[in-house]
Structure 1
Amino acid sequence: MAKNDFSAEVAENYEQKCLCVLVLDISGSMNEIVDNTGTVDTGKTIFVDGKTYNVVEGGISKLDNLNEGLRAFYDEIEKDDTTSQRLELSVVTFNDFVTTIQEPALVSNCHVPELMADGDTALVDAVYEAIDMVAARKKWYKTTNQPYYRPWIILMTDGEPNEGQDIQNLAQRIKQDTADKRYEFLPIGVDNANMSILQSIQGNIPAMKLKGAKFSSFFKWLSASMGTVVTADEGQKVDLSNGASDWMDSFTI
């Protein structure tokens, strides 16, 4: 089967669908320790993703928090009868390479990914992969006569794109696509993310910064927000601000 070809897939139900594509940075810097409790310094250093880090044993990393947040997100979606039948999840990861580790599917057909981090940051390629997936999935919805809400692409990164990645063209593409209401794009900066780059590629929704390492708070907000989206009436404006202050750094408001 060709990439992003869903033509052989049969719809499980004919509820109105909403696709949420998580585009997640798993570059080496995501292994950075954010909770030093119980850590032991090995005396070694490592150069990863453009920076030098001290190597320690133990502690909790940004990646640990991301994995925990993802597990809670999947659990919350599965517990809601309506959202679990309407929200389709997909996960695209990026470091040196872009990998679709979860094709679009209802949460009952998904396995919670256990992410591992290494390498650099092919951010631009990953976002284009998500955009292509959204277009292909919308085509499948139409072919199978499934109504759908506007899809969401959620980008989370703690760095900036590798050299040579064309941010300007991506920014133009996102601005045009979101103006045309093809999808919603939400860029989230983690820790040392280059917020000016994320702001340059934002669409209708401003780039936001995660407060500390509050991945769990973010995914709790996201599951509640997606639940609101998939129960809204056609054309209804929805307020997604409730709970955002729990994870969002104040400077981005």
Structure 2
Amino acid sequence: MREFSNNTNARLPVLFLLDASSSMNGIVRGGNQHILRQEYSDGINWNIVTGDNLVTRMDELNTGLQRFVSDILADPLAKLAADVAVITFARTVATVKEFGPIRESDTVLKISTSQENETLLGEAVELALAELDSRKRTYRKHGVEYYQPWLVVMTDGVPTSARHRELEGRLKELTAARKLSVFVFGIGRADLSELSCISPGRPPMQINDQMFPELFAWLSRSVRMVSMSVPGDGVSLTPLPEDVWQV
């Protein structure tokens, strides 16, 4: 494959698994807001509102994702190391970006909110693990070194199936063997007790849904730190900025 012949640097596979269920249309800010009605979605009752200049969680997430892309492109070493895939999930799963380097064309990368009001988190994580395994086989086939893979999960609401609980043991084994690093970020009213099943090694983190750019900037800095190391070495990432946490 051309991407491996042109760049023989060690790769850091990063798979973003992003909630695209209808609850990601939740409003984080805007003027003159008025509640029209309530709707039940993803296990939670939501207020349906109208107003001026409304900004949704998905709008903020997209701003953060574009920040990540710009930061990686601006760093020569991180650009060579980062091997990024983006997958969204609701009731169904969709691949937005297949594994590969960040390119200039990715500056317009954007996630759309699904009309589906289910959050099949476990099924999505299971697919993500299969994609990461496949990518590692590709590295080995082409003789490319790689760092411990990252699975970055961002979700709001409550999982609408129990499959994520069944994956707890497998995820613990992978992280204990240093074959996977999992970062789980709860958005809004996400149920952290449920998310803990897929977050071995570190607790899931409740994130301020107006601080996605800062969160993605931290992720891009962390990619840079890993890219400066040798595969197999442990890397201590800097703590998240305090204002990223949900207050």
Please, what TM-score do these two structures have when normalized by structure 2? 0.90
| 5+ residue gaps, structure 1 | 1-7
| Correspondence 1:244 to 2:241 | yes
Question: Residue in 1 aligned with 2:198?
Answer: 201
Contact 1:155–1:187 (Cα < 8 Å) also in 2: yes
Q: Distance in 2 between matches of 1:105 and 1:128?
A: 20
Question: Residue in 2 aligned with 1:43?
Answer: 36
Contact 1:172–1:201 (Cα < 8 Å) also in 2: no
Q: Distance in 1 between matches of 2:192 and 2:239?
A: 23
Q: Give, as a single letter, the amino acid of the residue that structure 1 aligns with 2:167.
A: L
| Correspondence 1:86 to 2:81 | yes
Q: Distance in 2 between matches of 1:57 and 1:115?
A: 23
Q: Distance in 2 between matches of 1:52 and 1:200?
A: 25
Q: Distance in 1 between matches of 2:235 and 2:121?
A: 29
Question: Percent same amino acid at aligned positions?
Answer: 28
Shift of 1:219: 0.3
Contact 1:158–1:193 (Cα < 8 Å) also in 2: yes
Question: Residue in 2 aligned with 1:220?
Answer: 217
2:50 aligns with one of 51, 56, 70? 56
Q: Which moved more, 1:14-23 or 1:102-111?
A: 102-111
Q: Distance in 2 between matches of 1:225 and 1:110?
A: 22
| Correspondence 1:99 to 2:101 | no
Q: Give, as a single letter, the amino acid of the residue that structure 2 aligns with 1:230.
A: S
Shift of 1:226: 0.8
Contact 2:39–2:47 (Cα < 8 Å) also in 1: yes
Q: Give, as a single letter, the amino acid of the residue that structure 1 aligns with 2:92.
A: F
Identify, as 1 or 2, the structure richer in strand.
Answer: 2
Please, what TM-score do these two structures have when normalized by structure 1? 0.88
1:103-122 matches, within 5 Å, as 103-108=98-103, 111=106, 112-117=108-113, 118-119=115-116, 120-122=118-120
Q: 1:57 to 1:116 in 2, by over 3 A?
A: farther
Question: What is the SS of the residue equivalent to 1:209?
Answer: strand
Question: Residue in 1 aligned with 2:16?
Answer: 22
Query: How many residues end up aligned between the 2 structures?
Result: 241
Q: Distance in 2 between matches of 1:233 and 1:148?
A: 9
